[in-house]
Structure 1
Amino acid sequence: MQKFSLLWLLVTVQLMLGCQSLMYPEQSGQGAAPAAAPVGQPQGQIAQCPELAEVICAEPEIRVVEKVIERRVEKIVEVPVAEDKLVLGAVEEISIEPSGLIIESIVDTGAPTTTLRAQTLTRFERDGEDWIRVQLLPPQADSKAKPASIELPIKRHIRTTRVGFPSQRRPVVEMNLTVGEVTHLVEVSLTDEGGTDVVMLLGRNFLKDAAVVDVSRRNIQGQPRVFGVK
């Protein structure tokens, strides 16, 4: 009977000590972890968890880089050409009459008069009029051919000026020039300057009302076809 009373006393003391540690946690043993508060217990002496807060993250900055590619389109303009006009390139083969010599000529739309550079020019008088003898060298490809000589009356004189050179008084004669199948009688100024190579500049006096020029091409008309000569 006494043993049962002592056992009951020990249980009662343990229950009292447990309740005291719950009510006064600061008086419990050092280093012991605080006990969780029961439901409905005031939170004054127990560490509180932070309240949940809504966190709004800023949207990342998006930079749009626009890359512009410039494209240049070449515009091709078609120029109407009359059916009765020649289409010439920057360089064409010209037949000179009466010699029949065929030379390569530069088509010069900036020159008002056609110009022929000869090897030698010899002036003389015939029947009281001024004449000139023009000696022309054949093309370099035809090295066996002999120089051609033409004698023509001088129609007039013109004075030409070039930058860096003194002015020159040039004789002007009339010649039949053939390009393709077209032959025109035009004025040609003569010069013996610039060496012995035969060079002709086909000027506007041949091109006017007769031809148009495509500077991107050459030898469009091909070999001159003089009337009566195959």
Structure 2
Amino acid sequence: MRFLPCISLLLLVQLLAGCETLRLSQPAPPESPNVFEETPPAQAAPDATGQCPPVEAVVCAEPEVKVVERVIERKFETIVEVPVAKDKLVLGSEEYFVIEPGALRLKALVDTGAATCSLSVGDMTPFERDGNDWVRFNLSDGGDAEPLKIELPIKRHVRVARPGFERQRRPVVNMSLSIGEVTHMVEVNLVERGEFEFPLLVGRNFLKDAAVVDVSRKLVQGNGTAPAVGK
């Protein structure tokens, strides 16, 4: 019976050893999901010298804002009414006139910048008659008809300056110009030249108190006709 305590002690030691072996053989419990492993920050790779490049700051550009301004311009048209006397003709920049003597219908340039009328003639020859100065010249309307020979007394002489030409001394004679219902006896200076587009230039000495000029129009008074014989 004295061996019974020894046997019990051995059994107790065996039992304790078996429990410890069982605890060690169990797997470790899983980690708590609330525990996060901190990842070390990435470091720049060293360059050829073994030094890391400096850190550059990145600045984002501000967005471009375009402002569109709309300007509405309003234009107002002003109409100015210019009174025109009822007894005055309206002439364009080009008109046909009938000239006397000769009763020729000539194409004329209406020039408000010219003081007197001017007529292109041919074979102009001054001469003396009864102690007075006269002039003889040929006048043509540009057609195929034979030029008219006209002789008129010289009233005076004028000097005319034109750009690019020398000053000319021209004889001045009195002639009758007609257009529409208007006929005026006016001074006309004579010039001898060759080809011309306008054989007659009508100046202010005819237009004064007789007509107004609309430079934007031509042949307002039509093609013109020679006055009837006896009128």
Question: Could you say which TM-score interval applies, normalised by the shorter chain?
Answer: 0.5 to 0.7
Look up the equivalent residue of 1:68 and give its one-letter code. Answer: V
- Unmatched 5+ stretches in structure 1: 1-27, 35-59
Shift in alpha-carbon separation, 1:99–1:156, aligned structure 2, 3 A: same
Give the number of the structure whose alpha-carbon radius of gyration is greater: 2
Shift in alpha-carbon separation, 1:169–1:61, aligned structure 2, 3 A: closer
SS of residue paired to 1:165: coil
Look up the equivalent residue of 2:173 and give its one-letter code. Answer: V
Tell me the distance in 2 between the aligned counterparts of 1:224 and 1:131.
30
Tell me the distance in 1 between the aligned counterparts of 2:74 and 2:177.
46
1:91 maps onto 2:94 in alignment: yes
Tell me the distance in 2 between the aligned counterparts of 1:226 and 1:213.
22
Tell me the distance in 2 between the aligned counterparts of 1:216 and 1:74.
19
- The equivalent residue for 1:14 is none
TM-score (norm 2): 0.67
How big is each residue's C-alpha offset from its partner over 1:131-186, in whole Å with a ceiling of 9 and x where there is no partner? 111212223xx33x111221111000011112332211110000000011211000
How big is each residue's C-alpha offset from its partner over 1:184-219, in whole Å with a ceiling of 9 and x where there is no partner? 0000000113x2436211000000111110000011
Preserved contact between residue 105 and residue 225 of structure 2 (Cα < 8 Å):
no
SS of residue paired to 1:163: coil
**1:169-208 aligned within 5 A:** 169-193=169-193, 195-197=194-196, 199-208=199-208
Preserved contact between residue 103 and residue 227 of structure 2 (Cα < 8 Å):
no
What is the aligned length? 175
How big is each residue's C-alpha offset from its partner over 1:12-39, in whole Å with a ceiling of 9 and x where there is no partner? xxxxxxxxxxxxxxxx9342435xxxxx
- The equivalent residue for 1:68 is 71
The structural deviation recorded for 1:80 is 1.4
Preserved contact between residue 118 and residue 196 of structure 1 (Cα < 8 Å):
no
The structural deviation recorded for 1:100 is 0.7
Shift in alpha-carbon separation, 1:147–1:76, aligned structure 2, 3 A: farther
The structural deviation recorded for 1:64 is 5.1
Taking every aligned residue pair, what percent have the same amino acid on both sides?
Answer: 56
**1:95-174 aligned within 5 A:** 95-139=98-142, 142-143=143-144, 145-174=145-174
TM-score (norm 1): 0.67
Q: CA RMSD in A?
A: 2.6
Tell me the distance in 2 between the aligned counterparts of 1:137 and 1:166.
26
